[in-house]
Chain A
Amino acid sequence: MSHLLTLNQVNVSYGPVQALYDVSLEVGSGEIVTLIGANGAGKSTLITSLFNKPKPNGGAIHFDGHNLTSEQTHNIAKLGLALVPEGRHVFPSMLVEENLVMGTIPIGENHLEQDRAHIFDIFPRLKERRNQRAGTLSGGEQQMLAIARGLMSRPKLLLLDEPSLGLAPIIVQQIFGILKEIAEDGMTVFLVEQNANHALKLAQRGYVLVNGRITLTGSGEELLANPQIREAYLGGH
């Protein structure tokens, strides 16, 4: 089976500081794959390096038949990749609606009406707040908006970087519920998380990143049951 996303021996550095060492992983079409790791392990670096921010200095990244390392950042979304970044990065002075339209840039506004209606079904809160500035939303609502914006480009692969970051447990629960729905709709998802418990329950497969290296991989259940993982990421219970 050919994979949608393949990283092969990828190395990434910030100047003299190397952040990723020989990282290889795959995400197949229709899969939910997670990458877990502690603070500073290199999770965000891995996900943004798909957009050449920063550009890998070794290895290859292929997505849907394209060699990503030779693409310009602003052309990558068009290939079918959507990023829901760490810290959400909604446009604070724009209305919720405008933020959603921003998501359609790679595909144009032809499906705007239809897709927005669908988004409002998934996120009724955003519908209520559609004419509000994104900067005035709560953290959880901003996270929903960031996910919604990602979906508006009808991506082949949805990348999420710590969607649970800084949110109350009940909101985290809600977000993961929504991610589950989205995945059941057939979306391919690559999820980076520190919240290993939620992430591994949602994902079919997972990778563990430690100090820039992949140290372990397996099915979500295997990793959840792994005593090392339980010790390091699940509080040892």
Chain B
Amino acid sequence: MDSFIIGQQLVNGITLGAIYGLIAVGYTMVYGIIGMINFAHGDIYMVSAYLGAIFLAVITFFGIDSVVLALIITLLFTIVFTALYGWSVERIAYRPLRGSTRLAPLISAIGMSLILQNYVQLSQGARNQGFPALVEGSVRVGDGAQFFQVTYLQMIIVVTAFVSMGILTYVIHKTSLGRACRATQQDPMMAEVLGINTDRIISIVFVLGAIMAAVAGILVSLNYGSFDFYIGFITGIKAFTAAVLGGIGSLPGAILGGLILGMSESLFSGFVNTDYKDVFAFGLLIVVLIFKPSGLLGKPEIEKV
């Protein structure tokens, strides 16, 4: 019997981990390129959930009733507008502070996070918002009382998340844009001298992070059906934990960290206690920070020549 419970928790864990990974890449890329924790990133994810619900409502209003088409259009619009939010946050809150102390952008990030939360609360109301259940049905493995199930939605979430992270990894490692991002990360001054507009690259990194957060926002809304203006906080901290776990600054690290966190959190809730799953997640973070402060795939900070 236990093996089916484990199976179920693993399925749930991979789903959750894929979501954490999608958000974690935004933290890790921004940290990699400008060395700051973008505390407003969780709220960008929250904004995307609202944008998704709004676009879906508009699209339904226009009478598009193919679920697949509606979801794709919603996803595209949400991506574009969330990207705009990500871009604006950098322009308004961080770029003017470049070259000042390390603390200044951190405080500005917390401010930005509060502004986004309050702005959404004021404009959309404090109550929970709903997202219709568009994808139903599941596949059962096992029979009788002994089974676990994988919903179609979980399959969509995992596939979409991994395709998105795969595309991002490809862009960063195989394209000239990605090369420019890595150059800016490793040696911004030299990158600039070689002809890279590093301000533009930093903007692009915020946009890429926001795009991933938007994908996560839509997927989570589809899965849970409801959200409020505060979801960015706890999910953001979890995703940040995933990024640190994998090694902040490392793209594959963020994906791996997300998966490990999602799965261990899920197994913990299944076998030990659901109420303490957050405590467990942060406990895991503390253990990693004590024994491997650079994270699982992170490099110790010695690279700069």
Residue numbers of A with Cβ under 8 A of B are: 51, 53, 72-78, 83, 85, 87-94, 98, 101-103, 105-106, 109, 135, 149, 153
With a cutoff of 8 Å between Cβ atoms, the chain B residues found around residue A91 in the complex are: 182-183, 186-187, 190
Report which of B176, B183, B193 forms a contact with A51, defined as CB distance below 8 A: B193
With a cutoff of 8 Å between Cβ atoms, the chain A residues found around residue B278 in the complex are: none
With a cutoff of 8 Å between Cβ atoms, the chain B residues found around residue A83 in the complex are: 193
Q: Mind listing 19 A-B residue pairs with CB under 8 Å?
A: A51-B193, A73-B193, A76-B193, A77-B194, A77-B195, A87-B305, A88-B305, A89-B190, A89-B305, A91-B182, A91-B183, A92-B305, A93-B186, A93-B303, A94-B186, A102-B191, A105-B194, A106-B194, A149-B194
With a cutoff of 8 Å between Cβ atoms, the chain A residues found around residue B187 in the complex are: 89, 91
CB distance from A218 to the nearest CB of B (A): 30
In the complex, the chain A residue whose C-beta lies closest to that of B299 is A93
Given contacts A74-B198, A87-B305, A135-B303, contact A94 B179 (CB under 8 A): yes
Interface of A is mostly: loop
Q: Mark B49-93, 1 if CB is under 8 A from A, else 0.
A: 000000000000000000000000000000000000000000000
CB distance from A83 to the nearest CB of B (A): 5
Interface of B is mostly: helix
Given contacts A89-B305, A94-B179, contact A105 B186 (CB under 8 A): no
Given contacts A89-B305, A92-B305, A135-B303, contact A77 B179 (CB under 8 A): no
Cβ–Cβ contact B195 & A92, under 8 A? no
In the complex, the chain A residue whose C-beta lies closest to that of B186 is A91
CB distance from B118 to the nearest CB of A (A): 37
Considering the chains assembled together, what is the distance between the CA atoms of A83 and B191 in angstroms?
11
In the complex, the chain B residue whose C-beta lies closest to that of A107 is B195
Cβ–Cβ contact B192 & A74, under 8 A? yes
CB distance from A116 to the nearest CB of B (A): 15
Considering the chains assembled together, what is the distance between the CA atoms of A85 and B305 in angstroms?
12
With a cutoff of 8 Å between Cβ atoms, the chain A residues found around residue B192 in the complex are: 51, 53, 73-74
With a cutoff of 8 Å between Cβ atoms, the chain B residues found around residue A94 in the complex are: 179, 182-183, 186
With a cutoff of 8 Å between Cβ atoms, the chain A residues found around residue B179 in the complex are: 94, 98, 101-102
CB distance from B183 to the nearest CB of A (A): 6
Report which of B186, B195, B303 forms a contact with A75, defined as CB distance below 8 A: B195
CB distance from B94 to the nearest CB of A (A): 19
With a cutoff of 8 Å between Cβ atoms, the chain A residues found around residue B194 in the complex are: 77, 102-103, 105-106, 149, 153
CB distance from B300 to the nearest CB of A (A): 13
With a cutoff of 8 Å between Cβ atoms, the chain B residues found around residue A135 in the complex are: 303, 305
Cβ–Cβ contact A92 & B198, under 8 A? no
Considering the chains assembled together, what is the distance between the CA atoms of A91 and B191 in angstroms?
9
Cβ–Cβ contact B186 & A53, under 8 A? no
B197 at the binding interface (Cβ < 8 Å): yes
B107 at the binding interface (Cβ < 8 Å): no
Q: A74-B192, A94-B186, A149-B194 are in contact. List 9 more A-B contacts (CB 8 A).
A: A73-B192, A73-B193, A75-B195, A76-B195, A85-B190, A88-B305, A93-B303, A102-B194, A135-B303
With a cutoff of 8 Å between Cβ atoms, the chain B residues found around residue A89 in the complex are: 187, 189-190, 305
With a cutoff of 8 Å between Cβ atoms, the chain A residues found around residue B114 in the complex are: none
With a cutoff of 8 Å between Cβ atoms, the chain B residues found around residue A102 in the complex are: 179, 183, 191, 194
Considering the chains assembled together, what is the distance between the CA atoms of A103 and B198 in angstroms?
15
In the complex, the chain B residue whose C-beta lies closest to that of A48 is B193
Cβ–Cβ contact A74 & B305, under 8 A? no
CB distance from B89 to the nearest CB of A (A): 23
Cβ–Cβ contact B193 & A77, under 8 A? yes
B168 at the binding interface (Cβ < 8 Å): no
With a cutoff of 8 Å between Cβ atoms, the chain B residues found around residue A73 in the complex are: 192-193
What 9 pairs across the A-B complex have the smallest Cβ distances? A77-B195, A105-B195, A89-B190, A106-B195, A74-B197, A91-B186, A73-B192, A74-B192, A92-B303
Q: Quick one: which of A93, A94, A102 has the most chain B CB within 10 A? A: A102
With a cutoff of 8 Å between Cβ atoms, the chain B residues found around residue A105 in the complex are: 180, 194-196
With a cutoff of 8 Å between Cβ atoms, the chain A residues found around residue B180 in the complex are: 105
CB interface residues, B 170-227, toward A, < 8 Å: 176, 179-180, 182-183, 186-187, 189-198
Considering the chains assembled together, what is the distance between the CA atoms of A113 and B179 in angstroms?
18
In the complex, the chain A residue whose C-beta lies closest to that of B198 is A74
Considering the chains assembled together, what is the distance between the CA atoms of A73 and B198 in angstroms?
10
CB distance from B248 to the nearest CB of A (A): 15
Given contacts A87-B305, A93-B303, A101-B179, contact A74 B195 (CB under 8 A): yes
CB distance from A223 to the nearest CB of B (A): 29
Q: Quick one: which of A87, A109, A135 has the most chain B CB within 10 A? A: A135
CB interface residues, B 128-181, toward A, < 8 Å: 176, 179-180
Considering the chains assembled together, what is the distance between the CA atoms of A153 and B196 in angstroms?
13
With a cutoff of 8 Å between Cβ atoms, the chain B residues found around residue A76 in the complex are: 193, 195
